[in-house]
Every structure is written in C-alpha cells, then in structure tokens.
Structure 1
C-alpha cells in the first residue's frame, strides 16, 4: 500500500491545477472573485449580457455588490439555467467572497458558482468512535456528483450567512442525524484549497474538515436521502479505499491531510 505522503502527493496534483489558457478574471466591486474559463467568458461577453458586465483589461466586472449585485446575479443565473449553460439548479444561496474569503460581497444561486469560477467553502466532519475507527458514508447512487463514492461522515457547502460551525452542525444533522451534543471536536480543523476544472467551468473550493469524536451511543442515521449507508472502519481501510479511488477527491484529501498532521505532531 502507498504511504500517506505518496497518496497525498498524487491527489494534490489533481486538486491543485491552474486555469486553462485564455481564462479571464471576474471582478465584483473591484475585487477579484471568480475565474472565467474561455467558454464562460465568451458567453458572458456576448451582447446578451452587456447590461450585466463591463469589459476590463483582465476580464469582466460586475459593478454592484450587496442587494443590487445579488439581483443581477439572480437574473444571470436564471438566464444561464434557461439556456442550459449550467448543469444544476439548487435554489440555494451561497455567499460570494473575494479570493481570501475575508468577507461577503454579495450572494448568488449555488448552481452558477462553477460557471463563474466563484469560491465556495465545503465543511466536513472527520468522525471517529471510541475504538478510533473512522465513520465514513457511501454516497447515494442518485447524487449528481460522485454517486456511490465514499465520503466523510458528513460534508457540504456553507450556505449564505452561515459560519463554519453552523454548516458543520447542519450537514451532520441532515446527513448523519446527529446533534452537536452527540460529538465533540478533538483537534483543530484542517483547511486546504482545491482548484480544478469541472463540468460547468472552474472549481475553487476551500475545504474545512473538523476532526470530531462521536459519543459512544451516537449512531449515524441519514435523514436527507443523500447517503446509502455508513461504516466504521480502521485507518488502514480508509487508506486502502483511497488508494483504490473509491473516495471523493475532497474526502480523500481531508483524511490524508489529517493523517499527515498526526504524524507531524
């Protein structure tokens, strides 16, 4: 079996890519917020969207943030959805942030984030039991992304207005049926960035993984239909399934960075 370092090095090459040649910058209120791959850039610079964006020397600019920016992006999302230019419509708002994730510039429909190359934040629970086994979840076959792959106990994108802990609590309840008093954080969160091309355009995602320990009587039970079943497995089995590419990229990286942190203490 490959070592943690070898597995991590291989996955980092997949997770840390540079935008394709010809990509342009999406700015909002003078702040760089997104990466437009060539196809997205050509769509958005067409006459259809002249009233939304201004051309700049680096790409395109949306002049308004706040409520006006949210209104403009909502209209844009509907047009892209109607034109079948985005593959998902989630009816869920996410915060639009600059590259350093420092503050919220405006909000937008989740389905438009990859097309515009906007940054997202995904929060995971890396959960262990009393025996040190790791709770993992097999994604439902009906999931649009990575159906049937193994994942962390819970994980999902941070919705508009949420804190990291809010997202951890919501996702862990929805996906594993557990309340915050049924687990406790046992180490600092692991944070890393993933940048890579995806179906709709460009993914730039900050992942924050919280190592937690479940109470002895806490048994995960899915509530939202997104998990087929749960297993509690040893670290060696997690590594085996990562090597077999049976985990999602984000979950595999979260586990490997956590294992690397253990050995560096």
Structure 2
C-alpha cells in the first residue's frame, strides 16, 4: 500500500518560486534602442513580423543596427521632433504589434519607459511592455486584521492574467501617471475600497524583483519587474470592498492558512513571494 503523499512545504515552494522569478530569456534577445537610449529588448527576429511602413508614415524609423558591438533594434525619431515623440513612436510600435496579435492584453494604460539610469524616456501601452522587454513597477499591500489574520483576495475569473488565483489584499501596476505612493493609494481604493489614510501603521516592507520569460507575444516576451510591497492594519470592523470588478471576493485567513495555500500553488507567484517577504523568509 502506497504511503500518503505529503503536502508540499512552504519552504520547498519558496525555493522553487525564487528560482522561477529569476530566469534567463527563453530565446536570444536584442536590445531595443529608442531615441538613442536602451529601453528594453526583443526576441531575435521578433520585429520582422510587423510592417514597418506604418511607422515610416509617422516619420519613425525602425531598423536593425549595431549597439556596442551587438545587433539591436533602433526606433528613431526625427531630430527636430517634440519631446513627446518617443512616446508616440513607442505607441505606434505597440499598435503595430497589437494588429499582428503579437502583444499582451490591450489595457489603454500607459506605463513609464526608462533608460538603464532610471530616467523616463517616454511611455507605452501596458500591453506591449512584456514583448518589448521594458522594465515595469508594481505595488502590493499586505493587509492585516487587528487579531493578526491576513486579508487576501481571490482574483476575478475575468482577469487576463492568473484568473481565479489568490492574491494579497491589493496588487497593481504603477502607471506612468503615478508615483509609488499615488499607485498605492489608487490601487488600494480600486481593488479594496480602502483609503490608505484610514489604514493603521502603513509602512514599506520591501521589494521583490522578477526577470523571467513571458507567454505574451507567443512566448517571445520577457518580464522585468520590481514589486514594492507595503503592510498595514485594516481597522476593526472595516472590510474591503472591490470597486473595479477585478476581485471575486476577500477572505480573512490565519497566517498558517495563507502559507498552506501558497505552498499548494493557489496564489500568484508574485503574491506568494511578497507574502514570503512579509513572513521574514
């Protein structure tokens, strides 16, 4: 008679999750240079799948060239163009990718596009950031009840990514229009119906970095993201209430219950690693 299969431990999950969060690209990538500055990367040959004439019609040139001795894609704008030209060029490229079915879900949301020094070069549609290897930022909130239980959310089945999985009280992207505190406040209201000024002991807890292949663009994407997470207590008698339709429901769980569900793979990878950081692991 076979022995009962032992449930996976949180420690085992954590070791594999950390490895999964830091993975090399699935295929060789080439730098993406916009207005003379490196802002991301694309899978080798990926941009050959789109028509470049539509970019030329807007006076933007997309070409394969050399950058510090290696092949790179250049998206150039005319020297006399306005300061908004890199944004317009990036979004023209994103639209071309969308029309060929080569990017992620279109969100009508702009994310900042930065050079290696962290300086903003422009912005681009969120649906294109993974296939263009553009670094993004996100924010999570670990929400606690006064008795130490943790508020968690079950993601809506309509979510384009990780539908139906469990998540922290709040998790969302930092848009181009937001600072980190602004993103925290906006997402906390939209996802949980809570005002950050009403939370008790709000503080920054740490961050988690991701570099891993993405399924977007037919598997040609690459995720580069920093998640800053915060912790706070939700006051007694206050319950989160979703405002944007992206949460199925909320639950209050003991920390051990959260650990068990994380180890079972019921939480998103991002939320699981944030929770591990909160638990000091």
Q: Do both share a fold (TM > 0.5)?
A: yes
TM-score for the superposition, normalised by structure 1 = 0.90
Give me the whole-angstrom Cα distance separating, in 2, the residues matched to 1:4 and 1:52: 50
What does residue 115 of structure 2 align with?
Answer: 98
TM-aligned CA deviation for residue 41 of structure 1: 4.4
Unpaired segments of 5 or more residues in structure 2? 1-6
Give me the whole-angstrom Cα distance separating, in 2, the residues matched to 1:90 and 1:185: 33
What does residue 108 of structure 1 align with?
Answer: 124
Matches within 5 A, 1:17-56: 17-38=23-44, 40-43=46-49, 48=53, 51-54=60-63, 55-56=65-66
Indicate conservation of the 8 Å contact 2:9/2:263, yes or no.
no
1:137 aligned counterpart, secondary structure:
strand
Most deviating of 78-87 and 168-177: 78-87
What does residue 145 of structure 1 align with?
Answer: 161
Give me the whole-angstrom Cα distance separating, in 2, the residues matched to 1:66 and 1:216: 49
Give me the whole-angstrom Cα distance separating, in 2, the residues matched to 1:229 and 1:83: 36
Say whether 1:204 aligns with 2:210. no
Most deviating of 74-83 and 57-66: 57-66
Which runs of structure 1 show a deviation greater than 6 angstroms over 4 or more consecutive aligned residues? none
TM-score for the superposition, normalised by structure 2 = 0.85
What does residue 87 of structure 1 align with?
Answer: 104
Indicate conservation of the 8 Å contact 1:66/1:107, yes or no.
no
Give me the whole-angstrom Cα distance separating, in 1, the residues matched to 2:215 and 2:160: 12
2:105 aligned counterpart, secondary structure:
coil
Indicate conservation of the 8 Å contact 1:66/1:105, yes or no.
no
Give me the whole-angstrom Cα distance separating, in 2, the residues matched to 1:82 and 1:41: 13
Q: Deviations over 1:58-88 (max 9, x none)?
A: 4112345941101111211111111211231
What does residue 268 of structure 2 align with?
Answer: 248
Give me the whole-angstrom Cα distance separating, in 2, the residues matched to 1:198 and 1:214: 34
Say whether 1:76 aligns with 2:57. no
Of the two, which has the highest radius of gyration?
A: 2
Give me the whole-angstrom Cα distance separating, in 2, the residues matched to 1:115 and 1:227: 26
Indicate conservation of the 8 Å contact 2:104/2:130, yes or no.
no
Give me the whole-angstrom Cα distance separating, in 1, the residues matched to 2:244 and 2:86: 32
Q: Pick closer, same or farther for the CA change 1:5–1:260 going to 2, 3 Å.
A: farther
Alignment RMSD, CA only? 2.1
TM-aligned CA deviation for residue 193 of structure 1: 0.9
Q: 2:75 aligns with which of 62, 77, 80?
A: 62
Indicate conservation of the 8 Å contact 1:134/1:233, yes or no.
yes
Indicate conservation of the 8 Å contact 2:35/2:86, yes or no.
no
Give me the whole-angstrom Cα distance separating, in 1, the residues matched to 2:108 and 2:45: 24
| Structure with higher helix content | 1
